[in-house]
Amino acid sequence: MIAFIVRRLVQAALVMLAVAFVSFAMFNFVGDPVANIVGQDTPADQIVELRKSLGIDDPMPVRFGRFVVNAVQGKFGLSYRTTEPVGRMIADRLPATLELSLVAAIFALVAGIPMGVFAGLYPNSWLSRTMMTVSLIGVSLPTFLIGILLIYIFAVILGWLPSFGRGDTIKLGFWSTGLLTVSGLKAIILPSITLGLFQLTLIMRLVRSEMLEVLRTDYIKFARARGLSNRAVHFGHALKNTLVPVITITGLQLGAIIAFAIITETVFSWPGVGLLFLQSVVYADIPVMSTYLVMIGFVFVVINLIVDMLYFVVDPRLRAQGRTSGSK
């Protein structure tokens, strides 16, 4: 177990190094940042001074080394656009994105798993068929369209929910949360549904097909032959065996949710890192873009680690590597 964790941590570090290199490389390929910062009438010596202070003319390995060392300390330089420290800009907006993503993921799981279980248990019922058809539409509609549709119905026509922003937030230390105010909770409903809908259909379809698969297995047949109740067979024996793929996909999708938050945040003017990223793209604000990339990479790596650990919790066969038949 320890060896496994160490191995995974080393792998994670290597992945992060690769991501860091790509983010770092962005600085070299996208235009000359100094040209964006300085005005047309800035004196030449001031430009040279600026280039020096930004360390732009050093050799590549030195710059990469500096980039990594700084990144590990949370120092990502200054935004070309606002000249604020990028680390702080991201940290300020990260809670908004994480809360949105988390609520979207929970929505997708809490609704997707029971729907998938039902559709797997009663594949021929009209409700299952309806869910499958509707989910197909859900999968093929682009996120921004769903967002706009929801805004149109619930904000414009019915006027029940706000169409943009985060509502009121409360500061808890460095974390600003919108989950503790009424307006914040109202504000998160539409964006999280928009963001989670695709994952919901994905999880539902996955759970359904896994259930259908598992229900055909010998151990389910044997569980029935032992006279266990339907509840025990379906929710004890069958559902638990569908969990490993569900955990994998949920983990990967959580990363995808955070990444795809860009679109939802744009549609709903949600003040998260995704919106920040888009604004940065417009300004070719490389430090912000590259930091965003590092951050997304980091999120994926962390989630993968957690998913690997969860396998151990769920599946005893992995826990007992090396211990085989008969031996203790």
Residue 4 or 222: which CB sits closer to another protein? Answer: 222
CB nearer to another protein: give 91 or 314.
Answer: 314
Burial of 85 (0-12, 13-18, 19+ CB in 10 A): middle
Going 244 to 297 to 257 to 175, the CA torsion angle's sign is positive
Q: Is 177 in contact with 100 (CB distance < 8 Å)?
A: no
Residue 210 CB, nearest approach to another protein (Å): 13
Of 194 and 241, which has the nearer Cβ to another protein?
Answer: 241
Cβ 225 to another protein shortest distance, Å: 4
Nearer to another protein, 92 or 315 (CB): 315
* Binding region for another protein (CB under 8 A): 217-219, 221-230, 232, 236-237, 240-241, 314-317, 320, 323-328
Task: Report in angstroms how near the CB of residue 248 gets to another protein at its nearest.
Answer: 16
Question: Would you say 185 or 232 has its CB closer to another protein?
Answer: 232
**Residue nearer to another protein on the CB measure, 73 or 230:** 230
**Measured distance CA(268)–CA(274) in Å, rounded:** 11
Closest separation in Å from C-beta 321 to another protein: 10
Q: Is residue 222 classed exposed, middle or buried when 0-12, 13-18 and 19+ CB atoms within 10 A define those classes?
A: exposed
Work out how close the CB of 280 gets to another protein at its nearest, in angstroms, rounded to a whole number: 46
Instruction: Kindly state the smallest distance separating residue 112's Cβ from another protein, in Å.
Output: 21
